[in-house]
Amino acid sequence: DTGVSQDPRHKITKRGQNVTFRCDPISEHNRLYWYRQTLGQGPEFLTYFQNEAQLEKSRLLSDRFSAERPKGSFSTLEIQRTEQGDSAMYLCASSPTSGGEYYNEQFFGPGTRLTVL
């Protein structure tokens, strides 16, 4: 299976700790996205990369959040000084840049469920 993968699948941490999540996109996809989803809500956009360039970041994203995609392949999302309100499912998605009208179909990984105690 060559879908989007995420690690870890679950993370429990104490308030104030730092956490880092990893996302490996579908190999031929140049675009990578991070979303956050809380119970009863749709996914909420956090940030977006094309290759290694971070092209967009949500205005809602606290400066405690940082994302990287150093070689244009996998990406990491770090949350510093976690708060209980950070508890959510963190989703990564990827999409190709070629393929005509299908270029912005986004495919999601299994997600990382974060619980902040």
Partner 1 sequence: QKEVEQNSGPLSVPEGAIASLNCTYSDRGSQSFFWYRQYSGKSPELIMSIYSNGDKEDGRFTAQLNKASQYVSLLIRDSQPSDSATYLCAVNGVTGGGNKLTFGTGTQLKVEL
* Residues near partner 1 (CB under 8 A): 31, 33, 35, 40-45, 48, 55-56, 58, 89, 91, 93, 95, 101-102, 104-111
Q: What are the tokens at 64? A: 């405690």
Please say which residue, 46 or 116, places its beta carbon nearer to partner 1: 46
| Single-letter amino acid, residue 9 | R
When the beta carbons of 82 and 95 are compared against partner 1, the nearer one is 95
Give the nearest distance from C-beta 49 to partner 1 in angstroms: 10
Return the closest-CA partner of residue 76 out of 49, 107, 97, 55: 49
Cα 116 from Cα 114, distance rounded (Å): 6
Q: CB-wise, 57 or 73, nearer to partner 1?
A: 57
Shortest CB 57 distance to partner 1, Å:
10
Least CB distance to partner 1 at residue 71 (A): 21
CB-based contacts of 17, cutoff 8 Å, min separation 6? 81, 82
| Residues contacting residue 37 through CB under 8 Å, at least 6 positions apart | 43, 44, 88, 89, 91, 111
Minimum gap (Å) between residue 111 Cβ and partner 1: 5
